[in-house]
Structure 1
Amino acid sequence: MGRVWPLTGRVEELRLIDQATWQGGGPKGVVLAGASGVGKTRLAQEILARAGRRGMATRWVAATTSARGLPLGAFAGLLGTVGDDPARLLRQGIDSLLAGTGRAGVMVGVDDAHLLDEVSALLVHQLVLHKAVTMIVTMRTREPAPDAVSALWKDGHLTRLEVQPLSVPETGALLEAVLDGPVDSASIVRMSALTRGNALYLRHLVDGELESGRLHSVGGVWRWPGGVTVSPGLTELVEARMGRLSEQVRNVVDVLALGEPLGAGLLTELTDAAAVEEAEARGLVSVERDGPALRARLTHPLYGEVRRAGMGMLRARRLRGHIATALANTGGGDADDTLRRAVLSLDSDLEPDPVLLTEAAGRAVQLCDLYLAERIGRAAVAAGGGFQAQMTVVSAVGGLGRHPDIKAEMAALTALASNAAELVRATVNQVLHLALLAGRPDEAEAVLETAEKRVSADADRVHLTAVRAYLESCLGRPERAVQAAATALAEPELPDESVVLASCGMVAAFATLGRVDELNQAAARGHTAAARSTELAFLRVPLAGWHMLGLRLAGHLCEALTVALECREASNGLAFGTELSSAVVGDAELARGQVNVALRLLREARVGMEGPGNAGGFLYFCLFSTTRALAVSGDVAGARRALAELWDAWHPALLILEPEMLLTRAWVAAAEGVVSEAVRLAHEAAEVAAARGQLAHEVLALHTAVCFGDGSVAGRLADLATRVAGPRAPAAAAQAAALAADDGDALRAASIQLEQMGDLLAAADAAAQAAVAHTRRDQKTVSTAASARAHRLAEACDGARTPALTAAARPLPLTTREREVVTLAAHSLSNREIADRLVVSVRTVEGHLYRAGAKLGTSNRAELAALIHHG
């Protein structure tokens, strides 16, 4: 593909090699030992290239199996001759290697030294022993080597360095260097797991996946969904690593390729005991203890990929049938074995078992592997699995955002319902789909109200009450949501699915009501039920998202990040789990001021949501966090584009997040320099929140207005501080009161309080406001200290830009309105465009520009822009 593969991720190895190679008086050179493909040769060649740039003569020797039968066979290319007199050849070899080396000396690289013939090994040993050259030797671990080679490090002549496989971060760094752009973390993890850090395998994998188009850039982020088709080059490498396989050993490898991991006893029954032992001895199979049992698996994932790709269909179907039958006969029956048996049976010669397939499809939903759940579920329906099987299909199709298909699937589900309880379950799924996935909350409410009127049994109605709790919270009715959730959760035998729904409603409501003291307990019950649920397990991430939101609004920012990270860990490997949870983590990081970290996570999440529609509202959630992060970073153009995309993604069933939407617009206005509009939007957000009883959102909105320079809300924040739990409300009230009083010392104290809370960006704003207050009083020393504090905090937020920080950093003698007008003029807006944006007359704009020009000594717009941006 012509791509350059640098030594990214090998900084520490290069440092150690340099130390061993160039230090004076000690061993001159290094033995690089490691498994095949980890990058030993590439490292050695880089060291020789560096030596050449230093003026040294360099020699490169590659040992091979074919040359091993000749004395000095590995050096034949350098010497030009071989023979039978070892002593003469040895002398000739030394002379040839040292000829014309000059004063800088010579460095010799010997690749695959374990394959050297005895004379070549002796030559290398003599060169090192007499310190005639600087020697770089590579060799494969666990391979027999000539005694002369082993003595190089055993006798202390050379330093031995174990070259380890690339770690996940090192794999990511290498991929991003090669692809010249960010790679989403899930793709990095998948590639690292498949290649096990083998740089050579990784290179061939990337080349093949680029050629196939599976590894592609979406929105500037590289993504790889997995499902590799092994290229011919990679196949040859892996087959060479595996070596020739006898029929018996091949059978062992193939059975594991289709069914790993398997109990060692079961594998022996399916294949041959002696062949299993041989495969283990050859490093093809690993056997590890799993409690009292022994589990066998292939030692490298690519072994399975290569064998599956090369296996005939009939052989594969027969073997899968044998494995599935053997698993059933062992009497294991745990959920994961059930899922494995079902997957194996789908592509086997066995008759479909509707009970097995239905149970397995439910397990796949529970694991959020929605593609697999749909596949198994459809097979279960075809085999006669009935309502429960169709339920898994509905859950999968809905979770994957396939709206055109869901109507027909819902109709099929309703048709299969045989009693009132099943009709209620069908209704619950329909309500969730209409509200969250289709974005039609009015229809969802109508369906729910109709069902509530028709269902008479309390045992059935409670499920409708649970889904109502979630719907009420999403529609911005937190008090009603809490009431419905409490009613449902009071039912002693409430199924897990209803517990999850009611808990989502209660957690979301508590989050916005400011009742954070009750939040954790409600979330814990929901998480426990979601882990057991076979239908609504996909709500684990939304539940964690609401939990994180409540902690963020309250000001428990470290705890919010912990919840988000735990959610991401639990979602790793699940369908869309990483993407959705990345949005949650990104929002939590943004709240702590980690702007660049947040942007990377949010961009990854956004790209990963290309497939599942609006991702149940997560696209909306992700976009307003992304827009805020871009605005805070100073990327005005990027923030505008993201805001336009956010408008398009508006979710009518998530009115609970309307204050967040308004605050996002406020941050974009602030980034554009229109602070008065930003303050107005923050007030509008506070009014919307207050009208709905979302007091925690009201606190955040008013606190945002304070950070924009509005001290008029101090009284309302002081009142809210007595009613809303968590550290944010009192901290915001303190900053507002200090700003209203123009008290620099109190603003500095508020900054410290906010920093301790973890809100570094608000702390930076308070410090900047303190600097301005002290400057107005001509208190230069404390003003300078406050400015330095604001700068330090802003740098900790990746150089974030806010109105307060801008005003403190560029204290121009302008009023707020004059600065707004000049800033918009600096952004190339005409006087008419500025007037329309600020809702004033063109004459008023001209007057502000005239006065600003008089104060700053210029009427030139370019010079005014330079003063605004750099003054």
Structure 2
Amino acid sequence: MNGTAPVRHDPSPSATGYWPLVGRTEELNRISASIRRRNGSAGVVLIGAAGVGKTRLAQEALAVAEQRGALVRWVAGTASARTLPLGAFAATLKLADLDPTRAVPEAAEALLADAGPAGVVVVVDDAHLLDELSAVLVHQLVLRKAAGVLLTLRTGEPVPDAVTALWKDGHLPRLELEPLSCPQTAALVETRLGGPVDDAAVRRLWSITQGDALYLRQLVDHEVASGRLRESVGVWRWSGRLDLSPALLELVSTRIGELPQHQLDVLDVLAFGGPLEVPLLTELTGTRAMEEMEARGLIEVLPDGRRWRARLADPMFGEVRRRRAGALYARRLRRRIASALGAAGGRRADDALRRAVLLLDSDAQPEVALLTEAARRAVELGDLALATRLARAAVSAGGGFEARLLLGNALGWAGRVAEAGGEWAALRALARTDLQHAQAAVARAKVLAWAGRPVEAEAELAATTGDESADLVLAGVRSVLDAYLGRTVRAAGAGAEVLAHPGCPEAAVPSASWGLAMASGGRGRLDDVGAALRRVEVEAPGVGLHERALVVMFSARGLLLAGLPDQADLVARRFRGSCTDSPARPVDVVTSFMAAESATFRGQVETAARRYRQAVAARHGTDSNGWSFTGLVGLAIALGMRGEPVPARRALLEMTAEHHPTCVYLAPNVLLARAWVVAAEGGVSEAATVARQAAEVAASQGQSAVEVLALHTAVCFGDRTVAGRLARLATEVDGPRAQVAAAHARALAADDGPGLQAVSVRLEQLGALLVAVDAAAQAAVAHFRHNRHGSAQTAAARARRLAESCEGARTPALAALTAPPKITRRQREILTLVAGGLSNADIAQRLFVSVRTVENHLYRVSTKLGISNRAQLAALVDDTGAARDRFGG
């Protein structure tokens, strides 16, 4: 890099402080293509806000140019060099005693000297800081097409006329570099950390940095060093309060600049009060100060319906101002803002919540009614941490039954069951009406249930009686408990009865809807699922976000069991869209489950495993382990579908350790997890047997849709005995899944290649791609057995094509495509176990046969194939070329 300022390129993601370039591939390609052109424009003007990543992108483009043989020149504009003619180029070119009349030509000649085979590329970083002569030099290089030129400019800064003319006159294209999107932020952070990052952490990082790459780098590195951003159960999670590093604090302060006090007042009011309507901000700070701050670009004024609201242009400004404010000043300012909100009449739904939070941290006296109302609103929005804080403050200020009930429920829903249990005695003592006694009993029953003590929870509900409203509230919670305990039919009946009652109180709606959705989804009764969902989405707008989340989750589960993934995803998207105004997202675990279950249905097994890991990590270390148990069940299944026996077995063991006595309804899924783990380990016959056992348990619980899933899993494992039962279930269970599963079982039992291929098409249409892969693979094997080699090639090609969308899945049926054609299904199973490192004795125990039988099978395979080495025999099941050789491709 002769004659240039050195630019360091460290390609190693593991290098200390190294941040990869992620999410900018399109921009990098456009820049690289532009600066290598020989005719026409030869360069780019890259424009973006401070910290958006212009310099980083320019460095990467420079490295690409250098690799293709260009001589690269790096020039940095600075405020100090701007006072000197050609000041920006002085350090690079080391020119002295220039003739003013020859300065530009001589500088150009020096820049172009020793050009590489791919010419010269000049990068000018912060070109808005160039002196006039340097700007003329750049202009001349472009007009003469003497070099590729890449300029970076900061949005909003004055630019020399010679530079502005480059894009205004069409000499160079102008490329606007936008801040990183939330998905780009996730990709960048995950690449930096080397593992998946929790969705909530990504959203929090993005909301704070707003896609500013420089902020992001500073923030992530500091939070990792502090231990607040750390790996948990294979997922990076961010917990605790944000603490700006000195470097980031200084960076943001520099962007704010030196401001007079009346302008700082505008920043402070918005930093502590959040976005405010313009008249309210004017009242607190004055019109002139607000207009000056908008002109500086430090605040934004945006339409909000018929009104206008002001907010900070950068969320980091608020972090800095709050950090630097004194405690007394902050408390007084919060009281002023809260008083102004109160005087304005609370036009917005969340003004009471904002006022309560401001007053809670101010020097004002607490208002019990306001704190209680705010806690209720926080529950509706799903911010359980804030609801707990507000309710606790209301209780401390003398709040009665409602404040205490809000506190106990918020603690319970947040998984802090031990603390929630401590509120029960006080709640019971405060109860005066039958409905309050019922609500107190419900609160304690929920604590007992999530603590893994369902028998005591049922006893608590049974010991409480009251008037009609109280009994309906109790019945609604009983329907939930019945659903969790596998009493599916009773749960559905109770939930439907409560919701249909003309006197159904508002307090009974969430639980009854939850019980009905959960039980009806397991039974395969979609009308009842829809009724429960409508009740909480439309007819009961005051239902807490966490309660609505559970109704939505089990409704989506029912739709997936029925074979309607698009409808399930629509329900999930509609719910996520309704959470956009929530200040916190305690329902992240629920949305992770919905995404994981949808991905599992669609065969996106890596996505499913990632989502399940997020759900487990989100609840790791809390008092209640029910969510962890549920997540580990799904994780073991997803890893089994990927054909990863070791991590799948580990997840199965963790699931057993986390077993939750209240989650009896998951007993069939626990067996399916075991079946998939065994299948991944090579024991396909055993896996089919375990899947049938799962179906029997589901049938005993009345979960007919789950029974269909279990039996269909057995069919995918090669079971030919369940066609009759699936045919009966197809007449009882709503949705297309049962009908397709019955057709699949019938075709497999008849060794019907065309029938299996038709089933694969129907499954693909449903979106169940991995099961469609299995059906196509089974069709290929059936065709081959009947010497229909052309059809076998077609089916095998279909299986391979569909498998490409399944993120590395490896099921027994797919693995069978790669097995040698001359061996039986049992021999292939034994070879798979050999490949897994099992001895003949281990294999005999796994398959419930004698060691002599195992030895005989291995001898026959050896004789057929002319192989005597055990390692070579094991390698046969991993020879992915065998399917191509046999079926084409």
TM above 0.5, one fold? yes
Task: Please report how far the alpha carbon of residue 182 of structure 1 lies from its aligned counterpart in structure 2 after TM superposition.
Answer: 2.2
Task: Please report how far the alpha carbon of residue 811 of structure 1 lies from its aligned counterpart in structure 2 after TM superposition.
Answer: 4.3
Q: Residue 392 in 1 paired to residue 406 in 2? A: yes
**Partner letter of residue 545 of structure 1?**
M
Q: Residue 447 in 1 paired to residue 457 in 2? A: no
SS of residue in 2 equivalent to 1:718: helix
**Partner letter of residue 694 of structure 2?**
A
Q: Does the 8 Å CA contact 2:126/2:154 hold for their aligned counterparts?
A: yes
What is residue 491 of structure 2 aligned with on the other side?
481
Task: Please report how far the alpha carbon of residue 134 of structure 1 lies from its aligned counterpart in structure 2 after TM superposition.
Answer: 2.5
What is residue 821 of structure 1 aligned with on the other side?
830
**Partner letter of residue 664 of structure 1?**
A
What is residue 182 of structure 1 aligned with on the other side?
196
Question: Cα 1:784–1:325, aligned 2, differ >3 Å: closer, same or farther?
Answer: same
CA distance in 2, matches of 1:57, 1:790: 50
What is residue 491 of structure 1 aligned with on the other side?
501
- 1:93-492 pair list within 5 angstroms: 93-101=107-115, 104-225=118-239, 227-332=241-346, 334-435=348-449, 437-451=450-464, 455-492=465-502
Q: Residue 801 in 1 paired to residue 810 in 2? A: yes
- 1:469-548 pair list within 5 angstroms: 469-528=479-538, 531-533=541-543, 536-548=544-556
SS of residue in 2 equivalent to 1:137: strand
- Identify the range of structure 1 (661-670 vs 305-314) with the bigger mean alpha-carbon deviation: 661-670
Q: Residue 4 in 1 paired to residue 32 in 2? A: no
Task: Please report how far the alpha carbon of residue 216 of structure 1 lies from its aligned counterpart in structure 2 after TM superposition.
Answer: 1.4
CA distance in 2, matches of 1:126, 1:842: 85
- Identify the range of structure 1 (134-143 vs 53-62) with the bigger mean alpha-carbon deviation: 53-62
Task: Please report how far the alpha carbon of residue 123 of structure 1 lies from its aligned counterpart in structure 2 after TM superposition.
Answer: 2.2
SS of residue in 2 equivalent to 1:59: strand
What is residue 584 of structure 1 aligned with on the other side?
594
**Partner letter of residue 224 of structure 1?**
W
In the alignment of these two chains, the number of paired residues is 864
What is residue 560 of structure 1 aligned with on the other side?
568
Q: Residue 662 in 1 paired to residue 676 in 2? A: no
Question: Cα 1:25–1:456, aligned 2, differ >3 Å: closer, same or farther?
Answer: closer
CA distance in 1, matches of 2:149, 2:825: 69
Q: Does the 8 Å CA contact 2:299/2:310 hold for their aligned counterparts?
A: yes
Q: Does the 8 Å CA contact 2:405/2:427 hold for their aligned counterparts?
A: yes
What is residue 742 of structure 1 aligned with on the other side?
751
What is residue 647 of structure 2 aligned with on the other side?
638
Q: Residue 787 in 1 paired to residue 801 in 2? A: no
SS of residue in 1 equivalent to 2:175: strand
CA distance in 2, matches of 1:47, 1:370: 47
Question: Cα 1:503–1:383, aligned 2, differ >3 Å: closer, same or farther?
Answer: same
Match of 2:844 among 830, 835, 838: 835
**Partner letter of residue 119 of structure 1?**
L
Question: Cα 1:678–1:315, aligned 2, differ >3 Å: closer, same or farther?
Answer: same
- Once the two structures are superposed, residues 740-771 of structure 1 have per-residue CA deviations (whole angstroms, 9 ceiling, x without a partner) of 22222222222222222222222222222222
Question: Cα 1:741–1:132, aligned 2, differ >3 Å: closer, same or farther?
Answer: closer
- Identify the range of structure 1 (739-748 vs 100-109) with the bigger mean alpha-carbon deviation: 100-109
CA distance in 2, matches of 1:863, 1:411: 69
CA distance in 1, matches of 2:63, 2:789: 56
CA distance in 2, matches of 1:631, 1:743: 27
SS of residue in 1 equivalent to 2:591: helix
Question: Cα 1:147–1:488, aligned 2, differ >3 Å: closer, same or farther?
Answer: same
**Partner letter of residue 599 of structure 1?**
A
**Partner letter of residue 536 of structure 2?**
G
SS of residue in 1 equivalent to 2:350: helix
- Identify the range of structure 1 (324-333 vs 303-312) with the bigger mean alpha-carbon deviation: 324-333
Q: Does the 8 Å CA contact 2:781/2:792 hold for their aligned counterparts?
A: yes
CA distance in 1, matches of 2:791, 2:114: 69
SS of residue in 1 equivalent to 2:662: coil
- 1:640-789 pair list within 5 angstroms: 640-789=649-798
Question: Cα 1:693–1:248, aligned 2, differ >3 Å: closer, same or farther?
Answer: same
**Partner letter of residue 172 of structure 1?**
A
- Once the two structures are superposed, residues 8-65 of structure 1 have per-residue CA deviations (whole angstroms, 9 ceiling, x without a partner) of 2111111111222122211222211111111222222333333333333332222222
- Once the two structures are superposed, residues 232-272 of structure 1 have per-residue CA deviations (whole angstroms, 9 ceiling, x without a partner) of 11112111111111010001101110001111111111112
CA distance in 1, matches of 2:501, 2:527: 23
Task: Please report how far the alpha carbon of residue 669 of structure 1 lies from its aligned counterpart in structure 2 after TM superposition.
Answer: 1.5
Question: Cα 1:530–1:306, aligned 2, differ >3 Å: closer, same or farther?
Answer: farther
- Once the two structures are superposed, residues 678-731 of structure 1 have per-residue CA deviations (whole angstroms, 9 ceiling, x without a partner) of 121122112112222222122222222222112211112112211222111111
- Identify the range of structure 1 (315-324 vs 848-857) with the bigger mean alpha-carbon deviation: 848-857
Question: Cα 1:336–1:88, aligned 2, differ >3 Å: closer, same or farther?
Answer: same
SS of residue in 2 equivalent to 1:295: strand
SS of residue in 2 equivalent to 1:374: helix
CA distance in 2, matches of 1:262, 1:638: 51
CA distance in 2, matches of 1:697, 1:104: 64
**Partner letter of residue 579 of structure 1?**
V
Task: Please report how far the alpha carbon of residue 101 of structure 1 lies from its aligned counterpart in structure 2 after TM superposition.
Answer: 3.8
CA distance in 2, matches of 1:603, 1:310: 38
Task: Please report how far the alpha carbon of residue 570 of structure 1 lies from its aligned counterpart in structure 2 after TM superposition.
Answer: 4.0
CA distance in 1, matches of 2:799, 2:69: 50
CA distance in 1, matches of 2:701, 2:60: 65
SS of residue in 1 equivalent to 2:101: helix
SS of residue in 1 equivalent to 2:72: strand
- Once the two structures are superposed, residues 63-96 of structure 1 have per-residue CA deviations (whole angstroms, 9 ceiling, x without a partner) of 2222222222222323546779742433443343
SS of residue in 2 equivalent to 1:625: helix
Between the aligned residues of both structures, percent identity stands at: 52
Normalised by the length of structure 1, the TM-score is 0.95
CA distance in 1, matches of 2:132, 2:189: 40
CA distance in 2, matches of 1:211, 1:386: 44
Structure 1 runs (4+) greater than 6 angstroms displaced: 82-85
- Identify the range of structure 1 (661-670 vs 570-579) with the bigger mean alpha-carbon deviation: 570-579
What is residue 596 of structure 1 aligned with on the other side?
606
CA distance in 2, matches of 1:192, 1:391: 35
CA distance in 2, matches of 1:361, 1:524: 25
**Partner letter of residue 440 of structure 1?**
R
**Partner letter of residue 728 of structure 2?**
D
- Identify the range of structure 1 (759-768 vs 461-470) with the bigger mean alpha-carbon deviation: 759-768
Q: Does the 8 Å CA contact 1:564/1:588 hold for their aligned counterparts?
A: no
Match of 1:626 among 625, 630, 635: 635
**Partner letter of residue 870 of structure 2?**
R
What is residue 60 of structure 1 aligned with on the other side?
74
CA distance in 2, matches of 1:221, 1:586: 15
CA distance in 1, matches of 2:869, 2:98: 88
Normalised by the length of structure 2, the TM-score is 0.93
Q: Does the 8 Å CA contact 2:408/2:421 hold for their aligned counterparts?
A: no
CA distance in 1, matches of 2:684, 2:62: 59
Q: Residue 858 in 1 paired to residue 867 in 2? A: yes
SS of residue in 1 equivalent to 2:596: helix
Give unmatched runs, 5+ long, in structure 1.
none
Task: Please report how far the alpha carbon of residue 840 of structure 1 lies from its aligned counterpart in structure 2 after TM superposition.
Answer: 3.3
Q: Does the 8 Å CA contact 1:121/1:149 hold for their aligned counterparts?
A: yes
**Partner letter of residue 257 of structure 2?**
G
Task: Please report how far the alpha carbon of residue 333 of structure 1 lies from its aligned counterpart in structure 2 after TM superposition.
Answer: 5.6
